[in-house]
Structure formats: structure tokens, C-alpha cells
Amino acid sequence: MSNARNLASFLGTSTTVPSSKLSLTTADMPTGSVLQVLQAVKTDTFSTTSGTFVQVPDLTVTITPSSASNKILITASIALASNYFAWHCGLFQDGTEIGKADAASNRPVSLFNGIDNQTDQTSHGKASYITRELLVSPSTTSAITFDIRAARRFDNLGSPVTYINRSHPDRDTISYDMRFTSTLTVREIAG
């Protein structure tokens, strides 16, 4: 009964919100709140035979944090395929690759690196969706640009090609070789 009386007492009270708080600013939001969300969506295809990273058109987002103490949460889902086993794809912040594994001799370390069975990719039209998340602390209120960049297999064996949003054979059938959509989403998180 005591809990019921306390609840009834609580429900019977009213609180006046000061007019200064009727319009919240980002500074009023608690830590962990999402302050803004921006997204780039790529619905067409892209391929590259470059041995160094090249920017994937339409997968770029520029965000301006409202406070230097806030963080940026980046989520990307990229559809990738290759004609020769491996593909390379990285996340870049203002032109610098981020989210890499520790350097390990000659091993590739990019965030979206991948490899799959060559027959599955070249004969059966397999492509892979790779999704990654990364939380960064840029410590700035200046505009920051995030983008996705891709490259072919680095050793250049087999005349490699990396594909975005399509399979290698890309046959025009209703059963195989689908087309895909890739996204890059950036959220400002209150720090």
C-alpha cells in the first residue's frame, strides 16, 4: 500500500518547466545523446583497378560537431566483390585512413578488407555486405569529412578489380548477380 500511495502522490503533483528550457540546445542534451545524423547513400555501381585507394563517389559525409568534447559514430555498410579473391576498402577522415588494425609486416590492415572464394565471386556472382562501426573523438568544432575509398588486390595478380554494389559477372538475370546499396552514416554523440 505504501508504494501505491507514493505513486498516487507522485502522479498528483505537477512540475512547471521554465520557459528557458522549452527550447533545448545541444548543450542541454545528456551524454550519449544523438545530436545529428547525416547519411550518404550509393545506389549505383563502382569499380576500380587502382593499386592505391580511390574515393568511392557518393560515399562521403561532412559533419560539423557542435562541441569539441562530442564524439562521432561512423557506421558503414558496403557491398563488395572482386574478380580475384580479395578486395580492399578503407574509411578515411579528412584524407587519413582510420580504423585500421595494427601494422603487421605486409598484411593489409584496412577496416573493410575482405577475401572470398574466387569461384563463388566470378562464376556464381557472390558479393559481400561488410558493415563496420567506429567511434572517434575528433576534438574539434570544425567540419570533418568522412569517406569510403577502395582499391584492387594490392599484389596485382590476376588483373584484379574491386567492385562496389555489384558482382563481378554482373549478368542481367532475375536470379543471380544482384545490385546493392551501400551507406555511410555519421552521428554526432554528446560527450
H helix intervals, 34-180: 118-122
Residue numbers of the domain that contains 180: 25-189
CB 67 within 8 A of CB 28: no
List C-alpha distances in Å: 65 to 1, 27, 41, 137, 139. Answer: 50, 12, 21, 10, 9
Cell numbers representing residue 158 in the block: 590476376
In a domain, 20, yes or no: no
Would you say residue 6 lies in a domain?
no
pLDDT score at 6: 53
Does residue 14 lie within any of the structural domains? no
User: Residue 25: what pLDDT?
Assistant: 81
Which CATH number covers residue 179? 2.60.120.1340
Total structural domains within the chain: 1
Q: Considering the domain boundaries, does residue 35 fall inside one?
A: yes
pLDDT tens string for the chain (191 positions)?
455 455 445 555 555 656 666 677 878 889 999 999 999 999 999 999 999 999 999 999 999 999 999 999 999 999 999 999 999 999 999 999 999 999 999 999 999 999 999 999 999 999 999 999 999 999 999 999 999 999 999 999 989 999 999 999 999 999 889 999 999 999 999 99
Give me 151's grid cell: 582499391
